[in-house]
Amino acid sequence: MSYILIVGFVAIALALYATGLAGYRLLLSVKNLRAEVSRSESLVKQLSDYPRQEVIPAHPHGTDDLVTTIAHRRAVIRARRRRAEERQRRLVQRIRDIEVDKR
């Protein structure tokens, strides 16, 4: 009978210990969660204090701007094509400069 009581007390003590450890881990998790929530609240407050910008609706361009817009677009396309050709030219030159016999 005494062994049964000792085993019972040990089992209860282990159960209380496991429950205490689980409670401690839960307490640490809640503590970390509170810190993150307060940090998030401060970030949301900073975001809400940020001044809002007005959306300016787009308006159609007239024929006066059309010529300059098309010229600018063509210049951008030409520059993009020129950069791509230069990049390809540099790549081909690097490939030509590779010494195959060097090992």
The confidence score (pLDDT) of residue 2 equals 86
Do residues 99 and 91 make contact, with C-beta atoms less than 8 angstroms apart? Answer: no
The tokens for 99 are 């010494």
The confidence score (pLDDT) of residue 37 equals 94
d(CA 23, CA 37): 21
Residue 100 shares a structural domain with residue 74: yes
The confidence score (pLDDT) of residue 23 equals 95
Residue 42 shares a structural domain with residue 13: yes
Report DSSP state, residue 53.
P
| Consecutive 10-residue averages of pLDDT for the chain (103 residues) | 87 95 95 94 86 80 77 95 96 87 67
Residue 45 shares a structural domain with residue 70: no
Residue 73 shares a structural domain with residue 101: yes
Q: Record the pTM.
A: 0.42
Its domain, for residue 21, covers 1-50
What is the number of domains present in the chain? 2
Residue 43 shares a structural domain with residue 71: no
The confidence score (pLDDT) of residue 65 equals 77
d(CA 43, CA 47): 6
Dihedral over alpha carbons 80, 86, 88, 92 (to 10 degrees): 180
The confidence score (pLDDT) of residue 61 equals 66
Residue 3 shares a structural domain with residue 26: yes
Residue 14 shares a structural domain with residue 42: yes
